[in-house]
Amino acid sequence: MFAVPADFDRMNVERFKRVTEEKLRGVRCPEHHRPPRLRFHGASLREMSISISGCCSRLMELANARIASPDLSLE
Ligand SMILES: [Zn+2]
């Protein structure tokens, strides 16, 4: 009998992280020219949450809009 790979869910989490990081690539604050800082919470996709921090609210808006955009709409 095969065991379900213990890291299967973790792989999905890693993928999710990569996709999310990809979305934020190139996002910079127009005023301070800083990238947002991204943090992931939770060990599985189901409980995964993201927190973004940045230098100012303008950057937060940009980052949030980018995160909320559909996958694979990368430019
Ligand atoms: Zn800023």
Cα-to-centroid distance, 13 and ligand 1 (Å): 29
Give domain limits for the chain.
26-68
Amino acid at 40: F
Query: Please, are residues 67 and 51 in contact by the beta-carbon 8 Å criterion?
Result: no
Q: What is the pLDDT of residues 20-51, one digit of tens each?
A: 999 999 999 999 999 999 999 988 888 889 99
pTM: 0.73
For residue 39, the CA-to-ligand 1 centroid distance in Å is 18
Q: Which pLDDT value is given to residue 5?
A: 60
